[in-house]
């Protein structure tokens, strides 16, 4: 068995697969090490199953919002059918098709736990133990685990994590969701759709990293649908007993449910990676440059969630393309284009990250919020328009409600941030991403004509509200 490769990748999630693939396409021999399912969290316990749980409720709501179609909706969701469709997306938590892909991509797969045991050396504990050596580089793409913070009784209560919620086989009658971030909002929406009586307990407003109107809209709709949303309320204590769970909040409320979901952020999967053997701290996120090279270690890369730049699948894969190409270029002794926006760096991580929250309503944003742009010292102008006034939106759904916000850097007259909130706004986002990444001057955007009657005409409303530059 070959044990020496140009590149060894630890972790075959969406990020690790892409680092390995790019490097292999660049002519390197690549080993990829995975201790669980090939495909990682996104395929089995995060993006795909969560969106599969959310989509049926969203489709039902979309039909209910259109007169004529509304009359055809005669029942609730079929929970078993929803869970079974979700199981289809995770292939029943079987990674055979991903293994086929790995083989087709020319990668060598080692199943087992990988640990760094020295410079350019990885030991894999699987059915047998094998020590691999890297001629050029090792890339860590081990992702994150759900964090269980030190809330009294929480760990002992064995809460559901996002992993349990996305792979749930049953729908709890009453579900308490702790947290107010993206996972909490999406999973509260999904389980409310599936019939749970849901209570959300968040120590801050919902979705606080987005424009304030986003979390307000999501909290408003959850409440309209009967979900109890407690914001600015911490959790004091959690106890499990008598077949259920009790949560006591900081403001003295006592909440009971059949299950509690801790959607309270993530922690790095780096506590058992052997980082100490090369002078790095165990259990921490890894600090990297824009080509994902770990500070002070020119042979070591950290890509995706594990570097904590942006915890999103598409951004991890973007980093992976840059890092895989950079590793291949450096191995060949070729030039590395690491200038801003170059081929071998992930510049967009800093100020042009797109994200969609698949809540009700959806939230789609890219770049900076108004507050973040101001904090960055920009001369900011904010333009808000109601999406419901756009012809395409009024056709899309009766009484369509939504908001679009454009954040402009006045000095450069370019868009630095955009947020859309409303039903089905996800697909509006990429045009905004192009405007932000391309730094398209506002005057030129007037020539990007949105088709009539689509929701994209909101761009025209935003430009008109801003005023045509001379
Ligand atoms: C509920 C939920 C929903 C989400 N939805 C979205 C979404 O809609 N869109 C989006 O962009 N992002 C979403 N995210 C975030 C997204 O899931 C992560 O950003 C993404 O999965 C990170 O990919 P990764 O490859 O870095 O890590 P992972 O996917 O976690 O992959 C890491 C892999 O490394 C393996 N591994 C770890 N340690 C070792 C070791 N020592 N040896 C061998 N193998 C090891 C693991 O088993 C795993 O397979 C969601 C997250 C959650 C929790
Ligand atoms: N659609 C998507 O793109 C999507 C969906 C889900 C998750 N994700 C990503 O996955 C990552 C994890 O999601 P998440 O929602 O778990 O993380 P998050 O960081 O978005 O939210 C964590 C929440 O937990 C709260 N919290 C943390 N510690 C707490 C404590 N001790 N007591 C009370 N509250 C506490 C925070 O205030 C926050 O509301 C995020 O980066 C997110 O962007 C993306």
Nearest CA to ligand 1 atom 1: 46
d(C-alpha 259, C-alpha 199), whole Å: 11
In a domain, 392, yes or no: yes
Say yes or no: CB of residue 270 within 6 Å of ligand 2. Answer: no
**Containing structural domain, residue 315:** 4-39+95-145+268-348
**Domains: count for the chain:** 3
Ligand 1 pocket, Cβ-based, cut-off 6 angstroms: 10-16, 33-36, 40-42, 46-47, 50-51, 113-114, 141-143, 162, 166, 183, 269, 273, 304-305, 311-314, 316
CATH assignment of the domain containing 291: 3.50.50.60
Residues 134 and 279 in one domain: yes
Say yes or no: CB of residue 45 within 6 Å of ligand 2. Answer: no
Alpha carbon dihedral 187, 189, 194, 196, in 10-degree steps, equals 80
Query: Annotated binding residue at 265?
Result: yes
Residues 395 and 293 in one domain: no
Residues 229 and 106 in one domain: no
In a domain, 184, yes or no: yes
In a domain, 84, yes or no: no
82: tokens are 């929803």
Nearest CA to ligand 1 atom 30: 143
Residues 259 and 272 in one domain: no
Distance 366 CA to ligand 1 centre (A): 21
Q: What CA–CA distances, in Å, run from 353 to 18, 110, 470? A: 19, 33, 30
ipTM score over 0.90, yes or no:
yes
Task: Identify the H or E element spanning 40.
Answer: helix 40-44
Q: What is the pLDDT of residue 470?
A: 81
Say yes or no: CB of residue 204 within 6 Å of ligand 2. Answer: yes
Ligand nearest to the CA of 205: 2
Residues 369 and 243 in one domain: no
Ligand nearest to the CA of 267: 2
Strand partners, 129: 125
Query: Annotated binding residue at 182?
Result: yes
Query: Annotated binding residue at 47?
Result: no
3-state secondary structure of 469: coil
In a domain, 433, yes or no: yes
The ranges of the chain with pLDDT < 50 are none
d(C-alpha 161, C-alpha 178), whole Å: 10
Name the domain boundary from 297, 320, 348. 348
> What phi and psi values does residue 352 have, to the nearest 5 degrees?
-145, 45
Distance 284 CA to ligand 2 centre (A): 18
In a domain, 354, yes or no: no
Q: What is the pLDDT of residue 100?
A: 97
Q: Do the beta carbons of residue 351 and residue 156 sit within 8 Å?
A: no
Nearest CA to ligand 1 atom 17: 42
Residues 194 and 252 in one domain: yes
In a domain, 390, yes or no: yes
CATH assignment of the domain containing 420: 3.30.390.30
Name the domain boundary from 288, 322, 348. 348
Residues 18 and 133 in one domain: yes
Query: Annotated binding residue at 67?
Result: no
Ligand nearest to the CA of 42: 1
> What phi and psi values does residue 366 have, to the nearest 5 degrees?
-145, 145
User: Length of the chain in residues, anyone?
Assistant: 470
Residues 257 and 272 in one domain: no
In a domain, 208, yes or no: yes
Residues 27 and 133 in one domain: yes
Residues 273 and 137 in one domain: yes
Residues 11 and 109 in one domain: yes
Query: Annotated binding residue at 364?
Result: no
In a domain, 81, yes or no: no
Name the domain boundary from 348, 378, 410. 348
Query: Annotated binding residue at 371?
Result: no
Q: Which of 139, 142, 285 to mutate to test the pocket of ligand 1 (most atoms within 8 A of CB)?
A: 142
pLDDT tens for 152-163 read: 999 999 999 999
Q: What is the pLDDT of residue 451?
A: 98
Residues 370 and 452 in one domain: yes
């Amino acid at each position: 068995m070959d044990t020496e490769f140009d590149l060894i990748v630890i972790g075959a999630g969406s990020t690790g697969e892409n680092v390995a693939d790019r490097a292999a396409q660049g002519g390197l021999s690549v080993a990829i090490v995975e201790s669980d399912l090939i495909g990682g969290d996104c395929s089995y316990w995060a993006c795909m199953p969560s969106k599969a749980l959310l989509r049926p409720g969203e489709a039902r709501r979309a039909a209910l919002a259109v007169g004529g179609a509304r009359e055809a909706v005669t029942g609730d969701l079929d929970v078993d059918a929803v869970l079974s469709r979700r199981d289809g997306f995770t292939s029943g938590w079987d990674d055979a098709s991903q293994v086929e892909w790995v083989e087709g991509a020319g990668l060598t797969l080692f199943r087992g736990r990988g640990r760094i045991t020295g410079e350019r050396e990885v030991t894999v504990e699987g059915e047998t133990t094998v020590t691999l050596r890297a001629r050029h580089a090792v890339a860590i793409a081990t992702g994150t685990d759900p964090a269980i913070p030190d809330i009294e009784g929480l760990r002992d209560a064995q809460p559901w994590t996002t992993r349990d919620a996305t792979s749930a086989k049953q729908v709890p009658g009453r579900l308490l969701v702790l947290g107010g971030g993206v996972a909490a909002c999406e999973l509260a929406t999904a389980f409310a759709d599936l019939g749970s009586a849901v209570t959300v307990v968040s120590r801050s407003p919902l979705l606080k990293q987005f424009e304030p109107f986003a979390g307000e809209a999501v909290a408003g709709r959850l409440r309209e649908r009967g979900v109890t949303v407690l914001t600015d309320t911490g959790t004091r204590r959690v106890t499990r007993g008598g077949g259920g769970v009790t949560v006591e909040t900081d403001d003295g409320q006592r909440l009971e449910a059949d299950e509690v979901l801790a959607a309270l952020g993530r922690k790095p999967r780096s506590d058992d990676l052997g980082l100490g053997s090369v002078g790095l701290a165990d259990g921490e996120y890894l600090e990297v440059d824009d080509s994902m090279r770990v500070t002070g270690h020119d042979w070591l890369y950290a890509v995706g969630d594990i570097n904590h730049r942006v915890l999103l699948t598409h951004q991890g894969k973007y980093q992976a393309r840059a890092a895989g190409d950079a590793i291949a270029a450096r191995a060949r002794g070729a030039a590395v284009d690491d200038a801003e926006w170059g081929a071998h760096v992930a510049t967009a991580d800093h100020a042009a990250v797109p994200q969609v929250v698949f809540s009700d309503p959806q939230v789609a944003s890219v770049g900076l919020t108004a507050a973040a742009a101001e904090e960055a010292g920009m001369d900011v102008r904010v333009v808000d328009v109601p999406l419901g006034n756009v012809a395409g939106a009024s056709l899309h759904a009766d009484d369509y409600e939504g908001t679009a916000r454009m954040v402009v850097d006045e000095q450069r007259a370019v868009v630095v941030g955009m947020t859309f909130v409303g039903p089905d706004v996800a697909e509006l986002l990429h045009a905004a991403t192009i405007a932000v990444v391309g730094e398209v001057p506002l005057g030129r955007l007037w020539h990007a004509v949105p088709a009539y009657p689509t929701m994209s005409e909101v761009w025209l409303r935003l430009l008109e509200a801003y005023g045509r530059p001379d």
